[in-house]
Structure 1
Amino acid sequence: MAFENTELFDQIATDALKNYGWEDTDESKLIVLSENATYMVKNKETGEKDGVLRISRPGYHTLEELNSEMKWLNQINEYTPLIVANPIKGLNGEDIQVVKGNDGRNYYCVICEYLPGDPPDENNEAQMVKQFSYLGETTAYLHRQTEIWNGTAKLDRMEWNYDTIIGDHAAWGRWQDFPDMTPKAQRMLEEVAVIIKKRLQRYGKTENNYGLIHADLRLANLLLEGDQIKVIDFDDCGFGWHLHDLASALSFMEEKPIVPKLVNAWLDGYRKVLPFTDTDFEEIDTFIMLRRLQLTAWLASHKESGPVAELSVGWMDGTIELAERYLRLFG
């Protein structure tokens, strides 16, 4: 989706407020154009943050898929100690509001409550390790909740498997299309992809390693308030391997020296709630590499997104470093 026409999304954001009866009291301000268009909604007089508006990219999710996301959010808040942003219902009583853009298309909009907090500080190693322990515990609570909730199987969400992550039907595009890709690098990464596929087939899908996951539990989607971790942006939630959530937590820093410490801290937290087997442990590197290739595709297909230019600097060098290590381990 092209985001150069910000006026279109500004119009949709303004019209969406009418569906909540907020057109006179609140205003919306663009935060980021990424997978979706995200706006902060503030009270015009007090400046108080009343919510966060997300305008979904057309064609990415159906209305039923978005309603399934909202159902899970409500369940998490009701039946776990975790904090996630609840959707705010519009005047029609629905979580999802349909707003027609001036291009004639319908856009799905949702306003979730604003959660105070700050993202983790990647430059503070000691704090990062501590926070990853909390994150592991948080992730395990999510996994356990989906295992015991009898409504999980009824949700309409996409499946994150090899094919939809980096295969022929990859949801975020082809990693081969990354601008700095060379023939040599592509051959190496194709060799890596073959090994990943074989290891995933061997690992298999069981009720203990596969289920409903957040699928994008990276630092940008976490808020910290004291020792409390709050989870936001469930837009990519779907059915996938639990280990995908660990790999997602390491997004955009997979090659950094701190990663082993972060993984160990995450595991310490996770094991407080759910078991983590030796078989699971053996595949951590596979899921980190799988996620790296998925993010390579995302960077290639989202050139218009705000953070892409900065994230792409040195990306291929780091990816090759990870690939060489992966091939030494499993090649």
Structure 2
Amino acid sequence: MEQAVLNQGAERFGRGSYSLQLLGGFDQNVFEYIGEDGLRFIIKFLDAAKYRKASIIRELTWMAYLAEHGLNIASSIRSAQDLLIEEVIHGSKRYYVIAFTKAPGSPLSDLTSDFAMIERWGRGMGSMHKLGKKDSTSASLVHRMAFPQWNDHLIFTDAFPEAAGERVHTQWRRYLKELESLPQDQDSYGIVHNDLHHNNFHVHNGEIVFFDFGDVSYHWFAYDIAIAIYHAVQTVPEHRKAEFVARFFDSFLSGYLKENTLSADWIERIPFFIDFRNLYSYVYFSKFVDWNEMDESTRNYLLAMKADIESGQSVVNLSI
């Protein structure tokens, strides 16, 4: 990203002298603003060719709605012009720039034994899902906004990436057929975070602070749970996965069910959604990342993913 873009965005939200530290993001577009006066916050640069302003407004509105209802959310920051979204133009490119308070605390450091915190994580997701239910009595602004449906993303609407291979494509079509047949009633389907893994919240003084709601959409609640499990399992070695996923699942679901109800039928579908997340992740990388730009370890990891997907191998053996 051009330095001129970074400078314009930082100057809209910051003050005085500063530096920007790259934190990451799929497009390498998330930075920490570090001011010489001690001011620190998170700033994101969104390419207008990929992101619509309306979707950003929905994201910020949903975050504010959750915060109003008691969840700890990294709050939005307004610019010097009192705007939540700034536009930066450089040459022929336009970027939307948004900023957030830096979530206090740090990532959950112990996924393998801090099951009390994993239960709180599940409880937070359960609260989100309860608020994300859309029923006949939902009259608030947030429930009148046109959040995207689960299959509105380019990965579903655009051509399947040839790089993924035909055998993966066969599995993709099979999973999509199953997903399209699932009911979308208010107790199973609603507004979800859609990426609430362990790197999208911090733990501070025993409480969880959630952030990064850029993928919020309508989806099945069971899929959102599956995302948390899928990414947590990737942090443990193969020989410990079975034991870990069982304890993680019990703790997470225990917290979740304290805030939101989910029927046994949908809970039993969670392993299916875990495997779909694995498939989705591989297809996403195949479509949006240049194979030649990956390091060797990433390529080897993806090749192993592909082999498991083609053979129909489940990510984990989760007995429910």
| TM-score between the two structures when normalised by the length of structure 2 | 0.83
Q: How does 1:275-314 map to 2 (within 5 A)?
A: 275-303=261-289, 309=295, 310-314=297-301
C-alpha distance 249-31 of structure 1, shift in aligned 2 (>3 A): same
Residue of structure 2 equivalent to 1:97: 86
Query: How far has the Cα of 1:95 moved from its partner?
Result: 0.6
- Structure 1 distance, partners of 2:139, 2:274, is 28
Counterpart residue type for residue 66 of structure 2: I
Residue of structure 2 equivalent to 1:317: 304
Query: How far has the Cα of 1:191 moved from its partner?
Result: 4.8
Counterpart residue type for residue 117 of structure 1: G
C-alpha distance 176-209 of structure 1, shift in aligned 2 (>3 A): farther
C-alpha distance 104-201 of structure 1, shift in aligned 2 (>3 A): closer
Q: How does 1:1-331 map to 2 (within 5 A)?
A: 6=1, 8=2, 10-20=3-13, 22-35=14-27, 37-45=29-37, 48-80=38-70, 82-101=71-90, 103-121=91-109, 124-127=111-114, 129-147=115-133, 150-161=140-151, 164=153, 167=156, 169=157, 174=160, 177-178=163-164, 186-187=166-167, 189-252=168-231, 253=233, 256-257=241-242, 258-303=244-289, 309=295, 310-318=297-305, 320-321=307-308, 323-325=312-314
The superposition leaves residues 282-304 of structure 1 with CA deviations (integer Å, 9 ceiling, x where unpaired) of 21112111111111122223436
* Alignment coverage as a number of residue pairs: 302
- Structure 1 distance, partners of 2:154, 2:289, is 19
Counterpart residue type for residue 216 of structure 2: C
C-alpha distance 232-135 of structure 1, shift in aligned 2 (>3 A): same
Kept in 1, the 8 Å contact 2:282–2:305? The answer is: no
Identity of aligned residues (%): 17
The worse-fitting range, judged by mean Cα deviation, of 190-199 and 285-294 is 190-199
- Structure 2: unaligned runs, 5 residues or longer: none
- RMSD of the TM alignment (CA)? 2.9
Kept in 2, the 8 Å contact 1:213–1:245? The answer is: yes
- Structure 2 distance, partners of 1:279, 1:166, is 28
- Structure 1: unaligned runs, 5 residues or longer: 1-5
